[in-house]
Amino acid sequence: MSNTGSEGAWPWLWHAKETSDAIPRATTTLLVIAIAALSVFSLFRRRNHTTASLPPGPRGVPFFGYLPFLGTNLHRKFAELAETYGPIYKLRLGSKLYVVVNSPSLAKEIVRDQDTEFANRDPNIASTILSYGGKDIAFSSLGPYWRNLRKLFVRQLMSNRSLDAFYGLRRQAVRKALSDLYRKPGMPVDIGELAFLILVNTVMAMLWGGTLQGEKRKTVGTEFRKVIAKLMVLLGSPNVSDFFPALAWLDLQGVERDMKRVHQRLDAFIQSVVDCATQRRTNELFKQEKGESNSNEQKKDFLQIFLDMEMNLEDNHSPMDKNRVLKAILVDIVIGATDTSTMVEWVMAELLQNRNVMNKVVRELTEVVGEDAMVEEHHLPKLKYLKAVIKEALRLHPVLPLLLPRTPHASCVVGGYMIPKGSNIFLNVGYIHRDPKIWDKPSEFRPERFLEDPSKYDLSGNNFAYMPFGSGRRICVGLALAERMLLYVLASLLHSFEWELPPGVELEFSDESGLAVKKMEPLVANPRPRLSPPELYLSR
Q: Please indicate, yes or no, whether residues 182 and 47 belong to a single structural domain of this protein.
A: no
Is 61 a domain residue?
no
pLDDT at 199: 85
Helix, coil or strand: residue 250: helix
Q: Bigger pLDDT: 72 or 358?
A: 358
At 198, the pLDDT band (50, 70, 90 cuts) reads: confident
- The CATH number that applies at residue 240 is 1.10.630.10
Q: Bigger pLDDT: 209 or 63?
A: 63
What percent of the chain has pLDDT above 70?
82
pLDDT at 46: 44
Q: Please indicate, yes or no, whether residues 271 and 318 belong to a single structural domain of this protein.
A: yes
pLDDT at 309: 64
Q: How many CB atoms lie within 10 A of CB 284?
A: 17
Q: Please indicate, yes or no, whether residues 328 and 467 belong to a single structural domain of this protein.
A: yes
- State yes or no: pLDDT of 538 exceeds 90: no
C-alpha distances out from residue 400 to 231, 431, 463, 517, Å? 16, 12, 17, 6
Q: Please indicate, yes or no, whether residues 34 and 88 belong to a single structural domain of this protein.
A: no
Q: Please indicate, yes or no, whether residues 40 and 78 belong to a single structural domain of this protein.
A: no
Q: Please indicate, yes or no, whether residues 44 and 82 belong to a single structural domain of this protein.
A: no
**Torsional sign, CA 240, 120, 515, 176:** negative
Q: Bigger pLDDT: 62 or 518?
A: 62
- Whole-angstrom distance, CA of residue 380 vs CA of residue 200: 21
36, with CB counted inside 10 A (0-12, 13-18, 19+), is: exposed
- Whole-angstrom distance, CA of residue 326 vs CA of residue 263: 15
Alpha carbon 378 to chain centroid, angstroms: 26
Query: Per-residue pLDDT averaged across 341-369, rounded?
Result: 96
Which of 184-193, 281-290, 362-371, 445-454 has the largest mean confidence? 362-371
Torsion of CA 415, 416, 419, 420, to 10 degrees: 170
- State yes or no: pLDDT of 92 exceeds 90: yes
Task: For 18-42, write each residue's pLDDT tens digit.
Answer: 334 444 444 444 444 544 444 444 4
Phi-psi label, residue 157: left if phi above 0, alpha if psi -120 to 50, beta otherwise: alpha
Task: For 128-148, write each residue's pLDDT tens digit.
Answer: 999 999 989 999 988 888 988
pLDDT at 327: 86
Query: Per-residue pLDDT averaged across 84-111, rounded?
Result: 96
Q: Where are the alpha helices (DSSP H) in 354-496?
A: 355-369, 384-396, 429-432, 479-496
At 305, the pLDDT band (50, 70, 90 cuts) reads: confident
| DSSP3 helix / strand / coil % (the chain, rounded to 5) | 55, 10, 35
- State yes or no: pLDDT of 14 exceeds 60: no
Is 336 a domain residue?
yes
- State yes or no: pLDDT of 451 exceeds 90: yes
- State yes or no: pLDDT of 524 exceeds 70: yes
Is 416 a domain residue?
yes
Which of 202-211, 225-234, 260-269 has the largest mean confidence? 260-269
- State yes or no: pLDDT of 499 exceeds 60: yes
Q: Please indicate, yes or no, whether residues 401 and 357 belong to a single structural domain of this protein.
A: yes
Name the residue range of residue 24's domain: 4-51
pLDDT at 205: 75
Is 57 a domain residue?
no
Q: Please indicate, yes or no, whether residues 41 and 165 belong to a single structural domain of this protein.
A: no
Is 59 a domain residue?
no
- Whole-angstrom distance, CA of residue 537 vs CA of residue 506: 30
Q: Angle, nearest 10°, between helix axes 167-182 and 479-496? A: 30
Q: Please indicate, yes or no, whether residues 394 and 316 belong to a single structural domain of this protein.
A: yes
Is 56 a domain residue?
no
pLDDT at 222: 60
Is 58 a domain residue?
no
pLDDT at 310: 57
pLDDT at 370: 94
Is 242 a domain residue?
yes
Query: Per-residue pLDDT averaged across 523-527, rounded?
Result: 95
Query: Per-residue pLDDT averaged across 518-537, rounded?
Result: 90
Query: Per-residue pLDDT averaged across 315-321, rounded?
Result: 55
* DSSP conformation class of 154: I
Least confident of 3-12, 241-250, 394-403, 425-434: 3-12
DSSP string, 53-119: PPPP----BTTTBTGGG--S-HHHHHHHHHHHHTTEEEEEETTEEEEEE-SHHHHHIIIIITTTTT-
Helix, coil or strand: residue 457: coil
DSSP string, 179-217: HHHHTSTT--EEHHHHHHHHHHHHHHHHHHTTT--HHHH
Pairing type for strands 518-519 and 96-101 reads unpaired
CB 141 within 8 A of CB 121: yes
Q: Please indicate, yes or no, whether residues 15 and 99 belong to a single structural domain of this protein.
A: no
- Whole-angstrom distance, CA of residue 45 vs CA of residue 142: 25
Q: Please indicate, yes or no, whether residues 355 and 310 belong to a single structural domain of this protein.
A: yes
pLDDT at 311: 55
The full 3-state SS of 374-389, as one line of letters, equals CCCHHHHHHCHHHHHH
- The total of structural domains in the chain comes to 2
Q: Please indicate, yes or no, whether residues 306 and 207 belong to a single structural domain of this protein.
A: yes
CB 516 within 8 A of CB 342: yes
- Whole-angstrom distance, CA of residue 42 vs CA of residue 47: 9
